[in-house]
Chain A
Amino acid sequence: GAVVSQHPSWVICKSGTSVKIECRSLDFQATTMFWYRQFPKQSLMLMATSNEGSKATYEQGVEKDKFLINHASLTLSTLTVTSAHPEDSSFYICSATGTGDLQPQHFGDGTRLSIL
Chain B
Amino acid sequence: QKEVEQDPGPLSVPEGAIVSLNCTYSNSAFQYFMWYRQYSRKGPELLMYTYSSGNKEDGRFTAQVDKSSKYISLFIRDSQPSDSATYLCAMRPTGANSKLTFGKGITLSVRP
Instruction: Give A contacts to B, CB under 8 Å.
Output: 1, 4, 6, 31-32, 34, 42-44, 46, 49, 51, 91, 93, 95, 97, 99-110, 112
Query: B68 within 8 Å of A by Cβ?
Result: no
Instruction: Give B contacts to A, CB under 8 Å.
Output: 32, 34, 36, 41-46, 49, 51, 88, 90, 94-97, 99-100, 102-105
Classify the secondary structure of B's interface with A: loop
A32 contacts B96, C-beta separation under 8 Å = yes
Closest to B45 in A: A107
B100 contacts A105, C-beta separation under 8 Å = yes
A108 contacts B34, C-beta separation under 8 Å = no
Complex CA–CA separation, A104 to B35 (angstroms): 11
**A11 CB to nearest B CB, Å:** 14
**B49 CB to nearest A CB, Å:** 5
B94 contacts A110, C-beta separation under 8 Å = no
Complex CA–CA separation, A99 to B96 (angstroms): 7
Complex CA–CA separation, A1 to B58 (angstroms): 14
Complex CA–CA separation, A40 to B30 (angstroms): 27
Closest to A2 in B: B46
Given A43-B88, A43-B104, A43-B105, CB of A101 within 8 Å of CB of B95: yes
Ordered by A's residue number, 23 sampled pairs between the chains whose C-beta atoms are within 8 Å are A4-B43, A32-B96, A32-B97, A43-B104, A44-B88, A46-B100, A49-B97, A95-B43, A97-B96, A99-B96, A100-B96, A101-B95, A101-B96, A102-B32, A103-B96, A104-B34, A105-B34, A107-B44, A107-B45, A107-B46, A109-B42, A110-B41, A110-B43
